[in-house]
């Protein structure tokens, strides 16, 4: 066991692991890489970026022991700990199992660099070890600082490289990301750590807490979008947000956001006329601004400034703010599904956006799924008669089927009580669907897993399917199931954290 450090730091509000270790290393006058070795986060010369996403319990314990923290404080220093409602950070996302390495290289997690507020860095410079890098700055939908009413910066004013990044090669490709760039070099936390070359080349070293010019101010639409996205990202179990006129889980909302971004970028320049008629452009930048994302994506600039794949917010803060404000305006409006239908109808059937929307549709809100279905031909999973009201495995890897009883406890069933459905059959059906959400089993297999007799399965199936066919019942039921699943997962996490050590 590694001995605790003689001195440590209390994490600041909103701080995440890279910034915390950088401040602590500066206070102790050691290289961040040396501190990473002590904390058990690396054994070589590379500082893996996957620790930014989440920590294993053993890793969190060692970080806590070395830095004199509680393990819960160590977990809270990760993006997953700070943004529980942000679905790209979940292990099971869009029906696929994600590893922390996969997430650390996903453009929707945006771990290749960090946006930042120079004023915030300046305001926290007096803290022990230096200024604080906020965790929310690493998320692609965070593009402004409301405290200072400014769009975040994203480049070093001296070398023009993306801030807090490991930089990019001469051909424009990103170098492999690291938890802390140039980890072997001792630098003040406010200084740019980008290295213009390879090997032992010194980092840029420019102070990033100096603005270098007047800040860009957000429009009201940008501020509104930022608040909506931040609210959803921090939403806990059972909380709902609005999307396309419905109350949905944060998971569905962010999947709707991703689908809308794909529709906007994939159908460009068609959105110009559609959105001008829609009225979403009134408080935003000229529609031509978004067109500037295309040469960056195609690599014509050759400087690696934009994230690695198509379909997510660009690195440039102004362009990202414009895109996300348009996205939220569509999802907020009662006519949003009509606007989406026009955008989707302009997508070529062989386009990347068209292909991705086919993959994402089953994981979006019911309203978004229907909008996509109207313009994009969705694949059928099997031949023969399609299942009526199928239940996708939306919570595989996050929801433990062993915790689900055949009869739901009263407090779990609370979200179902507001539905006008036969109470007993609905609770039995909900238990079956929770197992399907957790495992991907067929309905029959899930019922057998719970020990429900096939006769009871048939009875509840007939009753609940008849009820689901009535207008809006199916959507309301799915929304309630999402809340039940969040409650089950939250209770499981509390039980794990409160269990006595064996």
Q: Are residues 109 and 176 in the same domain?
A: yes
Token digits for 395? Answer: 């919570």
Confirm if 452 and 376 have CB atoms less than 8 A apart.
no
Q: Are residues 191 and 265 in the same domain?
A: no
Q: Are residues 258 and 177 in the same domain?
A: no
Q: Are residues 362 and 478 in the same domain?
A: no
Residue range(s) defining the domain that contains residue 194: 1-217
Exposed / middle / buried, residue 223 (Cβ in 10 Å: 0-12, 13-18, 19+): middle
Contacts 24+ apart (CB under 8 A), 147-150: 147/117, 147/119, 147/120, 148/117, 148/119, 148/120, 148/215, 149/217, 149/218, 150/117, 150/119, 150/215, 150/216, 150/217, 150/218
Q: Are residues 147 and 210 in the same domain?
A: yes
Q: Quote the pLDDT of residue 297.
A: 31
Residue owning tokens 């889980």: 249
Spell out the residues 6+ positions from residue 279 whose beta carbon is closer than 8 angstroms to its own: none
Mean pLDDT across the stretch 199-227? 87
Q: Is 501 within the bounds of a domain?
A: no
Q: Which of 227, 238, 229, 193 is nearest to 108 (CA)?
A: 229
Q: Is 154 within the bounds of a domain?
A: yes
Q: Report, in angstroms and rounded to the nearest whole number, the Rg of the chain calculated over CA atoms.
A: 24
Confirm if 161 and 155 have CB atoms less than 8 A apart.
yes
Q: Are residues 314 and 175 in the same domain?
A: no
Length of the chain equals: 502
The yes-or-no verdict on residue 181 having pLDDT over 50 is yes
Token digits for 260? Answer: 């809308």
**What is the share, in percent, of the chain residues with pLDDT greater than 70?**
84
Distance CA 65, CA 338 (A): 55
Q: Are residues 195 and 269 in the same domain?
A: no
Q: Is 389 within the bounds of a domain?
A: no
Mean residue pLDDT of the chain comes to: 82
Q: Which of 66-80, 342-356, 379-393 has the lowest mean pLDDT?
A: 379-393
- In terms of average pLDDT, the best of 55-59, 261-265, 280-284, 442-446 is 55-59
Write down which residue in 188, 217, 246 finishes a domain: 217
Q: Quote the pLDDT of residue 169.
A: 67
Task: Name 96's bridge partners.
Answer: 93
Q: Are residues 169 and 38 in the same domain?
A: yes
Q: Is 467 within the bounds of a domain?
A: yes
Q: Are residues 424 and 368 in the same domain?
A: no
Distance CA 237, CA 223 (A): 25
Q: Is 131 within the bounds of a domain?
A: yes
Confirm if 133 and 189 have CB atoms less than 8 A apart.
yes
Q: Are residues 206 and 287 in the same domain?
A: no
Q: Are residues 50 and 96 in the same domain?
A: yes
Q: Are residues 89 and 188 in the same domain?
A: yes
CA distances for 75 relative to 56, 62, 177, 244, 392, angstroms: 9, 11, 21, 34, 29
């Amino acid at each position: 066991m590694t001995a605790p450090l003689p001195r440590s730091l209390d994490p600041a509000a909103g701080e995440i692991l890279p910034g915390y270790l950088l401040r602590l290393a500066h206070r102790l006058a050691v290289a961040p890489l040396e501190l990473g070795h002590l904390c058990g986060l690396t054994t070589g010369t590379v500082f893996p970026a996957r620790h930014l996403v989440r920590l294993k319990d053993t890793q969190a314990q060692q970080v806590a022991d070395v830095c004199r923290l509680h393990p819960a404080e160590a977990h809270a220093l990760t993006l997953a700990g700070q943004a529980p409602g942000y679905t790209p950070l979940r292990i099971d996302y869009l029906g696929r199992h994600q590893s922390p390495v996969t997430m650390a290289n996903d453009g929707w997690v945006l771990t290749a660099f960090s946006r930042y507020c120079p004023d915030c860095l300046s305001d926290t410079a007096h803290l022990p070890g230096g200024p604080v890098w906020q965790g929310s700055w690493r998320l692609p939908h965070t593009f402004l600082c409301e405290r200072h009413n400014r769009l975040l910066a994203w480049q070093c004013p001296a070398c023009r490289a993306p801030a807090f990044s490991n930089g990019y090669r001469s051909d424009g490709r990103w170098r492999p990301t690291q938890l802390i760039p140039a980890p072997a070099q001792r630098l003040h936390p406010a200084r740019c750590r980008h290295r213009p070359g390879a090997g032992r080349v010194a980092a840029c070293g420019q102070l990033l807490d100096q603005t270098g010019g007047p800040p860009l101010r957000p429009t009201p639409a940008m501020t509104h979008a930022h608040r909506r996205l931040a609210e959803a990202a921090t939403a806990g179990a059972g909380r709902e947000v609005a999307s396309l006129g419905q109350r949905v889980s944060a998971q569905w909302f962010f999947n709707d956001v991703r689908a809308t971004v794909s529709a906007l970028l994939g159908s460009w320049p068609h959105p110009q006329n559609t959105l001008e008629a829609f009225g979403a452009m009134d408080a935003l930048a000229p529609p031509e601004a978004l067109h500037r994302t295309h040469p960056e994506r195609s690599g014509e600039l050759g400087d690696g400034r934009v994230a690695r794949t198509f379909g997510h917010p660009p690195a440039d803060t102004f362009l990202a703010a414009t895109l996300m404000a348009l996205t939220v305006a569509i999802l907020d409006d009662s006519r949003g599904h009509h606007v989406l239908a026009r955008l989707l109808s302009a997508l070529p059937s062989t386009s990347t956006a068209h292909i991705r929307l086919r993959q994402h549709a089953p994981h979006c809100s019911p309203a978004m799924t229907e909008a996509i279905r109207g313009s994009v031909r969705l694949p059928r999973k099997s031949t023969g008669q399609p299942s009526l009201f199928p239940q996708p495995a939306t919570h595989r890897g996050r929801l433990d089927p062993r915790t689900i009883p055949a009869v739901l406890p009263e407090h779990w069933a609370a979200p179902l009580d507001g539905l006008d459905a036969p109470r007993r059959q609905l609770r039995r059906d909900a238990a079956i669907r929770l197992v399907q959400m957790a495992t991907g089993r067929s309905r029959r297999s899930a019922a057998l897993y719970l020990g429900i007799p096939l006769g009871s399965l048939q009875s509840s199936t007939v009753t609940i399917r008849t009820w689901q066919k009535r207008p809006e019942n199916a959507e309301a039921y799915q929304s309630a199931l999402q809340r039940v699943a969040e409650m089950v997962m939250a209770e499981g996490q509390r039980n794990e954290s409160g269990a006595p050590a064996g």
